[in-house]
């Protein structure tokens, strides 16, 4: 076995230290070392988007990042989205629009949608579809997902006090 | 995946030292969107991965109207697309770099990595070739420069020797009355690999009627991305009309060497080359005239 390397990073706002082998992907580190199993493994080659996370605010496939590469970086996973008092607006929109069936692609979809809305608060449907091209869903046919992202964008545009609990 | 050691040096000199020590068993790691998949599938084996993303020169984009554009080898496609001068002055480059994968791949994949992976279908490579881009390569013996058109020598093989590192890509400053365009054919608009692709660059005469100089390059229809000298030469001095576009397309079809694989057949690819060369030329001419939006 190769020597393990100590990695310090910030994950979902919390400083984290862990040991991993250089060959272990960020996805493996999140799931198997850190117990953050919300991020899913689908294809393990960058095609399906189930393992989507944000790395320094940028959408990436965690299966195509090595754990050692996140030394000193910030990662956001699906576990980092909900607040202490409940789901965030994007998660609420996925529930309200029934934008999932088996749910396996959902963490990746929501993370990818967040990356879009962080950059473009009011995307067109065409833009949402193009942005989610790297996230595969075998259940929904995508329409409900597009609707959920659109409705989350609308909710995010509403003044905060009206939508907070 | 077989085990390997990992280093993330912060200077070109250290990276070159590490690469030289590792020889054939060491490889630079940029975005990893090709390399990590290849390692996982056992298509490549390494003992050392040298992460080049912590080297400042490799992460830098600079543009100067007199000097042109320099893109560090570890600049991601997403960063390239967010740079206002790239989209504005090199839309043909963005045609290629901006369609690699989807957003998650764009956030990680690099221009240098697309070139060093040397896939025949590498979407950014034909655009770099027609724009006259040059590679700066560092090694133990110093720095050397190689035009992009000479960089790929076989599928997934390049002129880089063990211990050498691609540092940056230099694009000449954009000239008046020039334009470039890259187009590919894929069944899906995103997350797909070119069945065939074509890039064109033209320089028009002062009255915009004639093509003074042109360059045509193809992807996915030869062992490497291919600069088509015959088509490029045939366009020089011609009136920019449909007849001359058709002749360039015919010469490109003659020069390409497509294979049949899971993505397409030989006749289909040769047909696509004809269509794509004409369309890419029309796009390049429109851009040279300032008629085509940048993206």
| Residues B96-150 pLDDT 10s | 999 999 999 999 999 999 999 999 999 999 999 999 999 999 999 999 999 999 9
Tell me the C-alpha distance between A111 and A109, whole Å.
6
Chain A residues whose beta carbon lies within 8 Å of the beta carbon of residue B52: none
| Closest CB to A22 among B6, B40, B101 | B6
Instruction: With beta carbons less than 8 A apart as the criterion, state whether B180 and B127 touch.
Output: yes
Of B29, B39, B105, nearest to A46 by CB-CB distance is B105
**Amino acid B49: pLDDT:** 98
Nearest 5 degrees, angle CA A148-CA B186-CA A51? 45
CA distances in angstroms from A121 to A114, A140, A158, B102, B234, listed in the order given: 10, 24, 11, 19, 48
The closest of A98, A96, A130 to A113, measured between CA atoms, is A130
CATH code given to domain B56-171: 3.30.465.10
pLDDT of residue A164: 46
Residue in the structure block whose two tokens are 């074509």: B198
Structural domains for chain A: 5-80 (3.10.20.30), 89-159 (1.10.150.120)
Nearest to B108 among A60, A71, A115 (CB): A60
For residue A52, the chain B residues in CB contact (below 8 A) are: 104
Q: Does A45 sit within 8 Å of B3, measured CB to CB?
A: no
CA B266 to chain centre: 23
Q: Side by side, which strands form the sheet with B48-51?
A: B5-7, B48-51, B26-29
H-assigned helices in B43-119: 77-82, 84-89, 91-97, 103-106, 111-117
Looking at residue B141, its pLDDT comes to: 94
Q: Which two tokens stand for residue B44?
A: 């490549």
Q: Which chain B residue has the Cα nearest residue A50? A: B104
**How does pLDDT run across B253-293, given as a tens digit for each residue?**
999 999 999 999 999 999 999 999 999 999 999 999 998 76
What is the distance between the alpha carbons of residues B252 and B285, in angstroms, rounded to a whole number? 18
Tell me the percentage of chain B whose pLDDT exceeds 70.
99
Whether chain B has a CB inside 8 Å of the CB on A126: the answer is no
Q: Are B164 and B19 in contact, with CB atoms under 8 Å apart?
A: yes
Q: What is the pLDDT along chain A (165 residues), one digit of tens a residue?
A: 578 999 999 999 999 999 999 999 999 999 999 999 999 999 999 999 999 999 999 999 999 999 999 999 999 999 999 988 899 999 999 999 999 999 999 999 999 999 999 999 999 999 999 999 999 999 999 999 999 999 999 999 987 654 444
Length of chain B: 295
* Sequence-ordered list of residues with C-beta below 8 angstroms from that of B43, at least 6 positions apart, any chain: none
What pLDDT does residue B291 have? 85
Domains in chain B: boundaries: 5-51, 56-171, 178-288
Closest chain A CA to residue B32? A64
**B178-288 shares the fold of B56-171:** no
Distance from the Cα of B29 to chain A's closest Cα (Å) equals: 10
CB neighbours (10 Å) of residue B285? 21
Is B32–A66 a contact, with Cβ atoms under 8 angstroms apart?
yes
Long-range CB contacts (< 8 A, 24+ apart) of B60-68?
B60/B168, B61/B85, B61/B86, B63/B89, B64/B173, B65/B173, B66/B173, B67/B173, B68/B170, B68/B171, B68/B172, B68/B173, B68/B174
Give the burial class of B268: count Cβ atoms within 10 A of its Cβ; 0-12 exposed, 13-18 middle, 19 or more buried.
middle
- Model pTM score: 0.95
Q: What is the pLDDT of residues B6-57, one digit of tens each?
A: 999 999 999 999 999 999 999 999 999 999 999 999 999 999 999 999 999 9
Give the ranges where B98-163 is alpha helix by DSSP (H): 103-106, 111-117, 124-130
pLDDT at B295: 56
Kindly state the tokens that stand for A94: 């996925």
Q: Would you state the structure tokens that stand for residue A129, as one six-digit string?
A: 């579809």
- From chain B, pick out residues whose CB is under 8 angstroms from the CB of A77: none
Which chain A residues are Cβ-neighbours of B1 within 8 angstroms?
23
Give the mutation candidate from B104, B105, B110, B192 for the A interface (greatest A CB count, under 10 A).
B104
Class of domain B5-51: alpha beta
CB contact under 8 A, A2 and B108: no
Distance, in Å, from the CA atom of B29 to the CA atom of B74, rounded to the nearest integer, reads 9
- Indicate the residue of B33, B53, B188 with minimum beta-carbon distance to A64: B33
A residues 81-120 closer than 8 Å to B (CB): 112, 115-116
Judged by CB atoms closer than 8 Å, whether chains meet at B1 and A23 is answered as yes
Q: Looking at beta carbons, which residues of chain B come within 8 Å of A5? A: 6
Chain B residues with beta carbon closer than 8 angstroms to that of A66: 6, 29, 32, 36, 49
Query: Which residue among B2, B8, B104 sits closest to A52, beta carbon to beta carbon?
Result: B104
For B179, the enclosing helix (H) or strand (E) is strand B178-185
Q: Spell out which residues of chain A touch residue B79, defining contact as CB-CB under 8 Å.
A: none
ipTM above 0.90, yes or no: yes
Q: Write out the CATH class of domain B178-288.
A: alpha beta
Residue A41 CA: distances (Å) to CA of A56, B41, B226: 21, 16, 37
* Six-digit token string for A124: 């067109």
Q: Which of A8, A21, A22 to mutate to test the interface with B (most CBs of B within 10 A)?
A: A22
Q: Which residue does chain B place closest to A62, by CA atoms? A: B104
B24 contacts B68 by C-beta, under 8 angstroms: no
With CB atoms and an 8 Å threshold, state whether B101 touches A68. no
- Bridge partners (DSSP) of residue B70 are B62, B170
């Amino acid at each position: 076995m190769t020597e393990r390397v100590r990695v310090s990073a910030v994950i979902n706002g919390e400083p984290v230290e862990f040991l991993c082998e250089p060959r272990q992907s960020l996805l493996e580190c999140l799931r198997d070392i850190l117990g953050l199993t919300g991020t899913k493994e689908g294809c393990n080659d960058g095609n399906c988007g189930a393992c989507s996370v944000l790395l320094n605010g940028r959408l990436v496939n965690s299966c195509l990042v090595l754990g050692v590469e996140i030394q000193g970086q910030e990662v956001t996973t699906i576990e980092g989205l909900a607040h202490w008092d409940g789901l965030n607006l994007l998660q609420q929109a996925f529930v309200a629009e029934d934008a999932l069936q088996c749910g396996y692609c959902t963490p990746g979809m929501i993370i990818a949608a967040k990356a879009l809305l962080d950059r473009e608060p009011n995307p067109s449907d065409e833009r949402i579809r193009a942005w989610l091209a790297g996230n595969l869903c075998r259940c929904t046919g995508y329409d409900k997902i597009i609707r959920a992202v659109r409705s989350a964008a609308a909710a995010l545009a509403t003044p905060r006090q009206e939508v907070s609990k | 995946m077989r085990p390997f050691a990992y280093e993330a040096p912060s200077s070109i000199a250290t990276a070159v030292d590490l690469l030289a020590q590792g020889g054939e068993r060491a490889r630079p790691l940029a975005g990893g969107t090709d390399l990590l998949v290849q390692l996982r599938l056992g298509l490549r084996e390494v003992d050392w991965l040298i992460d080049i993303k912590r080297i400042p020169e490799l992460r830098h984009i600079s543009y100067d109207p007199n000097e042109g554009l320099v893109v560090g080898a570890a600049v991601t496609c997403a960063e390239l697309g967010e740079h206002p001068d790239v989209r504005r002055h090199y839309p043909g480059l963005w045609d290629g770099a901006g369609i690699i994968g989807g957003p998650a791949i764009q956030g990680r994949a690099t221009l240098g990595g697309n070139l060093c992976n040397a896939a025949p279908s590498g979407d950014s490579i034909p655009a770099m070739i027609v724009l006259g881009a040059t590679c700066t390569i560092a090694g133990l013996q110093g720095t050397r420069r190689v035009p992009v058109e000479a960089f790929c020598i076989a599928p997934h093989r390049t002129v880089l020797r063990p211990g050498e590192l691609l540092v940056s890509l230099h694009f000449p400053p954009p000239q008046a009355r020039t334009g470039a365009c890259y187009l590919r054919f894929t069944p899906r608009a995103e997350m797909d690999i070119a069945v065939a692709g074509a890039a064109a660059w033209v320089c028009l005469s002062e009255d915009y009627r004639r093509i003074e100089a042109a360059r045509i390059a193809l992807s996915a229809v030869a062992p490497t991305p291919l600069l088509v000298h015959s088509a490029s030469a045939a366009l020089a001095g011609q009136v920019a009309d449909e007849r001359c576009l058709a002749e360039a397309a015919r010469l490109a079809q003659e020069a390409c060497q497509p294979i049949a694989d899971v993505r397409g057949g030989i006749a289909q690819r040769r047909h696509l080359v004809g269509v794509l060369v004409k369309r890419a030329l029309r796009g390049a001419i429109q851009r040279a005239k300032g008629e085509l939006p940048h993206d």
